Amino acid sequence: MQEIDQVTRKRTNIVQLLQKDGPTKICAPMVRYSKLQFRTLVRKYGCDIAYTPMIVSDSFVQSEECRKVEFITNENDKPLIVQFAANNPDDFASATEMVFPYCDGVGLNCGCPQRWAMAKGYGAKLLRNPEQLVDYIRFTRSRLQDPDFSISTKIRLHADPHKTVEMCRRLENVGVSFISVHGRTTKERHQPVHYDQIKLIKDAVSVPVVANGDVKSLTDVYKVYEETGADGIMVARGILKNPAMFEGYDRTPMKCVQDWLNICSRHETSFTCFHNHLIYMLEKRATKEDKQIFNNLRSIPAVIEYLDKYKDDEESVIDKTFSNMKSLAVS
């Protein structure tokens, strides 16, 4: 966990940010992907709030090594929300206290439907016991003295919409700052998002509501904003493929790719992280054959040489000096 001067870091009030005119644009928590380097990139392109990847709270509390690896930030990494997975209130509260000086809020993951997470009591498993979920928020809020520090949840829908609404009302009553809603049930994967149910939640509570699910462009951002009335729009896969989407680009511009190279040259970055993000960014540019070639590249010079083919007169030229990016660790 990188140290930040607690005096000079001015906290952002997340709730006030969500209450501004128009949709607040949010980069979702993504395991392996929404790390400091990517957060730095999307902040250059209209992202208002960024999340860390999901961090398992008990490991974070118990292991200094986990803290060093899983939570890396700096003074410019804001507004920032740290997302935790937890299976008991004490771990969530303790982890929150540890990151309190270095972020603007925390989020409790109540939406991950993966089997490993639910088997350990994390993620969407919490939705099966709303009373326990309410205790997480109540208990954590009681241990913090700053009412402006954001404590939020990210949920999925119950099969019965009225149960979802009732749960959200109970969360509001115990001090949740805002509620992010992925508009599918735990069992749904690629089915259409239930934006009507997100609107139902928005109409039922007074805290801000963030809509999530199938947003792939800036046009989608405003469409979902109008359809749901949500205060914020959270994007995962769409922004992974196009980190500049919040500024209206329909595909990743090459200047954004250049920015990614610049950022990775300044921050220690594994080759895997560096390369995998580029695989997503170039998806709309590359042919099937090119993707096979690029996906199998194993060195920075090879990647830079490949990227040079995409330059054109209207976009920035990839600077081949980045083939000497010493800070990238091959792994």
Catalytic residues, which ones?
112
Tell me whether residue 327 is exposed, middle or buried, using C-beta atoms within 10 angstroms of its C-beta: 0 to 12, 13 to 18, 19 or more. exposed
Q: Are 93 and 140 in contact (CB under 8 A)?
A: yes
Which tokens in the block code for residue 158? 């119950």
**Whose CA is closest to 325, among 263, 277, 250?**
263
Strand partners, 5: none
Strand partners, 329: 270
The DSSP symbol for 197 reads H
Residue by residue, DSSP assigns 144-176 as ---TTSEEEEEEEE-SSHHHHHHHHHHHHHTT-
**Whose CA is closest to 109, among 137, 135, 75, 85?**
85
Residue 292: CB atoms within 10 Å? 10
Give φ, ψ of 157 to 5 degrees: -90, 145
